[in-house]
Amino acid sequence: MTLAIEGWFVIEEGGTHLIGTRCASCGTVAFPPRSGFCPNPGCESESVEAARLSRRGRIWSYTNACYPPPEPFVAARPYTPVVLAAVELAREGIVVLGQVKGLTVEELEVGMEVELTHGPLADGPLVWMWGPVS
């Protein structure tokens, strides 16, 4: 099982989790995970810890790619449009973009609840994806 990027998400039996960071002092969350110090300019903390993000959120917006995106994306042949959703995680107060699996663009709605899953890029490695609530 090869992940397309290390340290941004984990796949476990219980489900797929995005990994961000949380400031130990003010609670500000960041995704992708960052090191060094808190991204909140009003916080002096240098203590940021890896944190699993909520697995469910609501669609902030969505779109698709009707034409194959250029490299370094590897497009499947024949090409089926990539669906993308930006999903708002209430607890973390952030919106995270991801590919959508198992739902067409016609089935999506702003405000709809989705759940984190994963799926393969056309050349094999796995990436996080948003899918239907299980």
Helix (H, G, I), strand (E, B) or coil at 22: strand
CB-based contact 23:43 (threshold 8 Å): yes
Verify binding: residue 78, other proteins, rule CB under 8 A: no
Q: Does 19 bind other proteins (CB under 8 A)?
A: no
Residue 127, CA distances (Å) to 58, 69, 86, 100 in order: 19, 16, 15, 11
Q: Which of 48, 82, 114, 116 binds other proteins (CB under 8 A)?
A: 82
* Identified binder of other proteins from the candidate list 56, 63, 115, 132, rule CB under 8 A: 63
Is 66 a residue that touches other proteins (CB under 8 A)?
Answer: yes
Question: Dmax over Cα atoms in the chain, in whole Å?
Answer: 51
Establish if 54 lies at the interface with other proteins (CB under 8 A).
no
Query: 13 burial class (0-12, 13-18, 19+ CB within 10 angstroms)?
Result: exposed
Instruction: Quote the least distance from Cβ 74 to other proteins, whole Å.
Output: 8
* Contact call for residue 61 and other proteins (CB under 8 A): yes
- Which residues sit opposite 15 in a β-bridge? 12
**Which residues contribute to the site for other proteins (CB under 8 A)?**
4-5, 23, 26-32, 39-43, 60-73, 75, 82, 84, 86, 91-99, 105, 109-111, 121, 127
